[in-house]
Structure 1
Amino acid sequence: MDTDQSNSLEPVVVTHTLPTILCCTCGIPISPNPSNMCVHCIRSRVDITETIPKQITLYFCKFCSKYHIPPSSWVYCEPESKELLSLCIARIRGLNKLHLVDANFIWTEPHSKRIKVKLTVQKEVFNHTILQQSFIVEYHVDYQQCYDCRAKSAKMEPWEAVVQVRQRVDHKKTFYYLEQLILKHNAHGNALSLKTLRDGLDFYFPNKSAALQFVEFLHRVVPVRMKNSDHLVSHDPHNTTYKYKYSFSAELPPVCRDDLVCLPKKVSTSLGGLGPLVLVTKVSQNLCFIDPWTLQTGEFSGYQYWKNPFSSLLSCRRLVEFTVLDCELTGESQGKYAMGDVTVCRSSDLGWTDRQFYVRSHIAKFLKSGDIVLGYDLENANYNDSALDAYRSLQVPDVILVRKTYPAKNRAKRRRFKLKRLEKKKQQQATTTAVRDTNNDMQIDQHNEDEYDNSQDFEEFLQELEQDPEMRAQVDLYKKTNEDQVSTTQNSEEEDDDDYPQVGVEELLEDLHLSE
């Protein structure tokens, strides 16, 4: 009997039903929501896409297959690609006020000049009620020639702005250093081409904004003085459009590293009585000086320099080689410099005369008997400077030592690093692409292009990099490949110089090529 009772028991299933309400508009039963309305009634009263245009025009260049991005950019996109989809979505005005859920292309004929994109968006309506809606935006593709293709078909030069960098000096080491800074920071990334001249470089850019970015970079690394001008190329009176070409002239001061400068009285007073005879230790955003007799240092900004300009008394081309006979420190020091009494003689006079010079120098810390040092021989120098004439009671020393050097050898055969160079394009016809220099209003031809690259100046620049760790830290050095090392070590019979500073492997970068 107990068995029969256990079999007759059945499990009781409890079901829960959600409460329903009637739509306040049409009266159908719906689940409760803050608006008390069904989805159809909400959509009939609210259209969250009413402010979004459903037809948009895209401009397409059939010569280079690029789409126009207002105001002046053109980008290449494959059909139905992610790039084209993002470009189409970016052209929709008012979409930022909605939450985009999904977007995809709807197939159209390839030659229909139509692109359809289906979008799904959401928006909050009626007391925290989120409404989702899908709609289609149709893009009409119109043909329009981009500026590059238009300039190419009209045989016009594609550049719109040019930056002319100039420095009136007798060597190019400052430009070699500036070239490495440009490569390190990729400041020339937007440049169309680069041309060399006797006194500097010309950078050509596709638009004015790219040229202004490069000008801003120059202001951060060197003390430059800017001049600008514009030239009207064309004018359409029907729609009041103008086409200009812009020229920016960046002039560097004719004062370089290791130059001997006589500071004007006004400048010397502003620097706390520095000088007046000082050496230039660094040229960056500011000009840095040091008094070789007192170890007093000073900085002069680019704005201050161009307000009170001055030139070098003697440039580094006038450096003379001296041999150290004796060196004794005096105990005064300032940073990496230390004062001392040094006895030197001209290296060219060794074995001929016994003429010696007793010099007080700021680089005595780095010198010892037998070393070779570069300095200015003021005893036999000819100079004419109005700033120096103002100091009538100034006693000019016979010799001013500048920096330590090493015996002349072929260092390139044992050098383990190399530098990258800017790709310079030669001019096909000098008469057709001459550019007006805004400094002196004269036409400059390109036949002097080869004068920019000077092997002697570039070798001296490489040796300065090897001897100055602070200067090396500002540029990128690359390891030589196996082919470069083999070509530079062949027929090298010279002995290594143990005292010559070597560049460590940890300071070198790997030269990566895309083909690898």
Structure 2
Amino acid sequence: MSPTATTPPVLTSVQIPCCVCGTMILPNAANQCPTCLAQEFNLTERLQRGPAGQKHIVIHQCRNCRRFARTPTRYEFAEHESPELLSICLKHIPALNQHDLQLVDASWIWTEPHCMRLKVRLTVRTELLSVVVQQRVMVELHVQFQMCPECNRDFTNRTWHALVQVRQVRNDSKKGLAALEMALAKNKTIRQHVLKVDTKKNGFDFYFLSNTHAQTFTNFLQRVAAMRIQRTTKMVSADNHSNTANMKTTFMAQMVPLCRDDLVLIHRKAAGSKLAGSLAIVTKVSSTIQFVGASPKRTHVSDSMMELSADQYYKTEKHYQMLQAGHRLVRFVVLDVELCDEQAPSGQLYEGPHSGVEKYALADVTVARESDFGVNDEMFACVTHLGHWIAAGDVVLGYDLVNSVGTDDWEMQEQLHGGFTLPDVVLVKKAPRNKETAAVGVDEQEGQKRMTKKRERRKRYKEGRKQKELEETAGRMGFFDDINEEQVDEEGEDVDADFEAELANDPELAAELLNLERDLAQLDDGDVVAEGEDNQLVEEDNQDS
């Protein structure tokens, strides 16, 4: 006989009635349905409890800027009953950070904007006695005013923690500081973290809130000018219980005291210098210093050029002696030009990087003082690097070493190589074509008279001019936008006469400053137009109302 087929038994779960409402449910530890169980376990008190067992949940808002605190140090803008504010409120409910609670939904309950209360309706899910329970709970948050860190600095004199001191120890030229002002005026992102700026003798002081901002600022300065950065830290206060200290850091940014067109004596003991034991002209100052020989040998012009970093300069600072500055340039008339390289095409002048002509070329030049025309027939012959810049009949600026004081000094001759012959004239650059704007070299007696007048003005108007100089300098760098130009003192117009003469002899720097002033003027005009449009809109609204 074949075995009879048997059907498998059907397994059914055992259900029991809820002990409260009688609804058939699966057995659980409470023997209650989720609805009855949720009525016994209320999650409102748990969600309403603040941190550290406080009865209320507090959210801080800055009274000044009206921002809400997401963290104790981070405040954010959020509209009333907006999704951004809802996100901030959920961060302040400690119960939601526990792993046994799951947030299902969140929405706003309308409240009066000035009642200092925020109400949120939350739908949460949790597990109680092996039963999944879901409840809808109303949570109320109390809004309290607390000043944010940014606004707090405004009411505490903007306490600083880092100071950047920029100095260029030089009294006869402002080219280095002017280039620094230009770079800061063009870069708004670098200026945004500066709390305060003060003008000091030979430089500026910049104050910052943190060392990070000051370090970023010094890195920017090193790309603009050749300088040495020294960092010092001072402890202001300390807390032995929490093992913390309040530190203030000072960055000393010392700019190299050399400017473009300076005549420098490089001692023969200068290690690693290609132009050691000779005279050199500073052709460019940026992150590095570029030199060219003042009386080069008749080889190739690259043999007479040298580049020096700030660190290399300060390691052998005593071997670089400045002899003449840009305000002592004298005008010479070119009588004859003959290139040292016979194979080079003659008659071609450098007109830019795309002209196909090298910027510098050595040439034998014969010149005469412009002031000697009609007086005497004295002429000078020299070797210069301006072979592709000048032609017969042009006017050049240079240094007259024949009538200069100190060039025949015995100590100076000791620092030169035996094979180096001191030239009578050192040509620096081609003079501007517009003779009316080109300043004649400043005579030594005129310079002494001008310095005497400066000392007298400093004694009489020291305090008043100091504040004016601070406002004007900060305004040029872009820190102050509300400078009143009508308050400029007419008696102080002659104080910068030397710098104006240098600008007349340096058309490149003068053009950069002029373009900067035009850009700032256009920005001011745009602000005025925008302000006029806003006023017009306000008047139209008033008329409509």
TM-score, structure 2 as length reference: 0.59
Greater share of strand residues, 1 or 2?
1
1:396 maps to 422
1:409 to 415, 436, 439: 436
Taking the TM superposition and a 5 Å limit, the aligned residue runs for 1:467-478 are 477=516
Q: 1:510 to 1:67 in 2, by over 3 A?
A: closer
Deviations, residues 374-414 of structure 1 (Å, cap 9, x unaligned) = 111222223479786332513211111000113542489xx
CA distance in 2, matches of 1:111, 1:376: 75
CA distance in 1, matches of 2:91, 2:504: 49
CA distance in 2, matches of 1:140, 1:462: 66
CA distance in 2, matches of 1:455, 1:513: 32
CA distance in 1, matches of 2:341, 2:412: 32
356-365 or 142-151: bigger deviation: 142-151
Structure 1 residue 329 displacement after superposition: 2.5
Secondary structure (helix, strand or coil) at the match of 1:365 reads: coil
Taking the TM superposition and a 5 Å limit, the aligned residue runs for 1:327-346 are 327-331=337-341, 335-346=358-369
Taking the TM superposition and a 5 Å limit, the aligned residue runs for 1:107-506 are 107-110=110-113, 113-115=116-118, 141-147=143-149, 150=152, 153=155, 156-169=157-170, 170-186=172-188, 187-234=190-237, 242-265=245-268, 267=270, 270-272=272-274, 276-292=278-294, 293-294=296-297, 295-296=301-302, 297-309=305-317, 310-331=320-341, 335-383=358-406, 389-393=414-418, 394-406=420-432, 407-410=434-437, 421-423=476-478, 454=496, 456-458=498-500, 460-461=502-503, 464-466=506-508, 477=516, 479=518
Amino acid at match of 2:258: V
Amino acid at match of 1:160: H
CA distance in 1, matches of 2:225, 2:326: 19
Secondary structure (helix, strand or coil) at the match of 1:338 reads: coil
Q: 1:307 to 1:101 in 2, by over 3 A?
A: farther
Contact 1:259–1:279 (Cα < 8 Å) also in 2: yes
Aligned-residue sequence identity (percent) comes to 36
2:43 maps to none
CA distance in 2, matches of 1:462, 1:73: 51
Amino acid at match of 2:198: K
Amino acid at match of 2:335: L
Contact 1:166–1:251 (Cα < 8 Å) also in 2: yes
Contact 1:54–1:138 (Cα < 8 Å) also in 2: no
Amino acid at match of 2:427: L
Greater share of helix residues, 1 or 2?
2
CA distance in 2, matches of 1:140, 1:328: 87
Taking the TM superposition and a 5 Å limit, the aligned residue runs for 1:34-53 are none
1:513 maps to 526
Q: 1:459 to 1:401 in 2, by over 3 A?
A: closer
Q: 1:367 to 1:262 in 2, by over 3 A?
A: same
Q: 1:329 to 1:290 in 2, by over 3 A?
A: same
Structure 1 residue 451 displacement after superposition: 10
Contact 1:197–1:451 (Cα < 8 Å) also in 2: no
Contact 2:282–2:290 (Cα < 8 Å) also in 1: yes
CA distance in 2, matches of 1:385, 1:475: 44
Deviations, residues 71-128 of structure 1 (Å, cap 9, x unaligned) = 7555555544576567668889999x9xx9998655445456554667999xxxxxxx
Deviations, residues 399-449 of structure 1 (Å, cap 9, x unaligned) = 11000113542489xxxxxxx8224669xxxxxxxxxxxxxxxxxxxxxxx
CA distance in 2, matches of 1:411, 1:321: 10
Structure 1 stretches lacking a partner, 5+ long: 1-21, 27-39, 41-52, 122-132, 413-419, 427-449, 485-508
Contact 2:327–2:498 (Cα < 8 Å) also in 1: no
Structure 1 residue 277 displacement after superposition: 1.9
Cα RMSD (Å): 5.0
Contact 2:66–2:77 (Cα < 8 Å) also in 1: yes
Q: 1:390 to 1:245 in 2, by over 3 A?
A: same
Deviations, residues 284-303 of structure 1 (Å, cap 9, x unaligned) = 11111222424232211222
Secondary structure (helix, strand or coil) at the match of 2:402 reads: coil
Q: 1:149 to 1:477 in 2, by over 3 A?
A: closer
Secondary structure (helix, strand or coil) at the match of 1:513 reads: helix
Secondary structure (helix, strand or coil) at the match of 2:252 reads: strand
Contact 2:396–2:428 (Cα < 8 Å) also in 1: yes
297-306 or 282-291: bigger deviation: 297-306
CA distance in 2, matches of 1:389, 1:75: 68
Q: 1:276 to 1:151 in 2, by over 3 A?
A: same
Amino acid at match of 1:513: G
Structure 1 residue 183 displacement after superposition: 2.2
Structure 1 residue 278 displacement after superposition: 1.7
Deviations, residues 342-369 of structure 1 (Å, cap 9, x unaligned) = 1112222222222110111111322123
CA distance in 2, matches of 1:176, 1:144: 43
Amino acid at match of 1:382: V
Contact 2:264–2:323 (Cα < 8 Å) also in 1: yes
CA distance in 2, matches of 1:58, 1:462: 62
Amino acid at match of 2:414: D
CA distance in 2, matches of 1:83, 1:467: 50
CA distance in 1, matches of 2:502, 2:479: 21
Contact 2:191–2:479 (Cα < 8 Å) also in 1: no
Structure 1 residue 467 displacement after superposition: 7.8
CA distance in 1, matches of 2:497, 2:85: 49
Secondary structure (helix, strand or coil) at the match of 2:506 reads: helix
Contact 2:333–2:369 (Cα < 8 Å) also in 1: yes
Structure 1 residue 172 displacement after superposition: 0.9
Contact 1:324–1:368 (Cα < 8 Å) also in 2: yes
Amino acid at match of 2:527: L
Amino acid at match of 1:390: Q
Structure 2 stretches lacking a partner, 5+ long: 1-11, 17-34, 36-48, 52-56, 125-134, 345-356, 440-474, 482-491, 530-545
Deviations, residues 199-220 of structure 1 (Å, cap 9, x unaligned) = 1122222333222211121122
CA distance in 2, matches of 1:209, 1:479: 33
Q: 1:232 to 1:365 in 2, by over 3 A?
A: same
Structure 1 residue 337 displacement after superposition: 0.8
Q: 1:421 to 1:355 in 2, by over 3 A?
A: same
TM-score, structure 1 as length reference: 0.62
Contact 1:374–1:404 (Cα < 8 Å) also in 2: yes
2:63 maps to 62
CA distance in 1, matches of 2:504, 2:142: 58
Contact 1:184–1:475 (Cα < 8 Å) also in 2: no
CA distance in 2, matches of 1:250, 1:395: 37
Secondary structure (helix, strand or coil) at the match of 2:178 reads: helix
Contact 2:69–2:75 (Cα < 8 Å) also in 1: yes
